[in-house]
Amino acid sequence: MLVFPLRNSREMGKSIAKAAKAKLGNLKSDNFPDGEFYIRFLDSVKGKEIILVQSMSPNPNDSLLELYWAGITAKQLGAEKVIGVAPYLAYMRQDKVFNSGEALSNHIMAHLLNTSLDKIVTVDPHLHRIRNLAELFHIERKKITANNDIANYISKKFSAKNTVIIGPDSESSQWAAVIAEKIGFESSIFEKQRHSARNVKVNVVKELAWKGKNVVIVDDIISSGHTMIEAIKTVRKKEAKSVHCICIHGIFAENAHAKMLKAGANTITSCNTIAHKSNKIDLAKTIVENW
Q: How confident is the model at residue 192 (pLDDT cuts 50, 70, 90)?
A: low
User: Of the given ranges (21-30, 31-40, 93-102, 179-188), which has the lowest mean pLDDT?
Assistant: 93-102
Q: Which residues pair with 122 in a beta bridge?
A: 86, 143
Please report, rounded to a whole number, the percentage of residues in the chain having pLDDT higher than 70.
94
Neighbours of 214 (CB within 10 A): 19
pLDDT (0 to 100) of residue 95: 76
Extents of the domains making up the chain = 2-145, 147-272
Asked if 213 and 163 count as a contact pair (C-beta separation under 8 A), the reply is yes
- Examine the pLDDT at 112 and tell me if it is beyond 80: yes
Residue 252 has pLDDT above 80, yes or no: yes
**Over residues 1-6, mean pLDDT:** 97
Give the model's pLDDT for residue 175.
83
pLDDT at 203: 60
Closest CA to 276 of 49, 34, 55, 111: 55
Tell me if 2-145 shares its fold with 147-272: yes
The number of residues in the chain equals 291
pLDDT at 53: 98
pLDDT in the model for residue 206: 58
Q: Is 48's pLDDT higher than 60?
A: yes
Of 97 and 162, which is predicted with more confidence? 162
- For residue 148, is pLDDT > 50? yes
Residue 173 clears pLDDT 80, i.e. is over it: no
Segment 2-30 shows an average pLDDT of 97
Mean pLDDT across the chain, nearest whole number?
Answer: 92
Question: Residue 269: its pLDDT value, please?
Answer: 98
195: confidence class by pLDDT, cuts 50, 70, 90: very low
Q: Which residue of the set 48, 75, 192, 213 is catalytic? A: 192
Tell me how far CA of residue 26 lies from CA of 4, 39, 40, 50, 65, in angstroms: 6, 11, 9, 12, 19
CATH entry, 2-145, from 3.40.50.2020, 3.40.190.10, 3.40.50.1100, 3.20.20.140: 3.40.50.2020
For 147-272, the fitting CATH number among 3.40.50.2020, 3.20.20.80, 3.20.20.190, 3.40.50.150 is 3.40.50.2020
**259 in catalytic set:** no
pLDDT of residue 201: 61
**Residues 186-191: what's their mean pLDDT?**
84
Query: Which pLDDT value is given to residue 205?
Result: 52
**How much is the average pLDDT of 229-238?**
91
Residue 118's pLDDT band (boundaries 50, 70, 90)? very high
Q: What is the 3-state secondary structure (H, E, C) of the chain?
A: CEEEECHHHHHHHHHHHHHHCCEECCEEEEECCCCCEEEEECCCCCCCEEEEECCCCCCHHHHHHHHHHHHHHHHHCCCCEEEEEECCCCCCCCCCCCCCCCCCHHHHHHHHHHCCCCEEEEECCCCCCCCCHHHCCCCEEEEECCHHHHHHHHHHHCCCCCEEEEECCHHHHHHHHHHHHHHCCEEEEEEEEEEECCEEEEEECCCCCCCCCEEEEEEEEECCCHHHHHHHHHHHHCCCCEEEEEEEEECCHHHHHHHHHHHCCCEEEEECCCCCCCEEECCHHHHHHHC
pLDDT digits (tens, 9 = 90+) for 197-228: 555 565 665 566 778 899 999 999 999 999 89
Determine if residue 214 is left, alpha or beta; phi over 0 gives left, psi from -120 to 50 gives alpha, anything else beta. Answer: beta
* pLDDT attached to residue 76: 98
Among residues 237, 227, 78, 213, the alpha carbon closest in space to that of 159 is found at 213
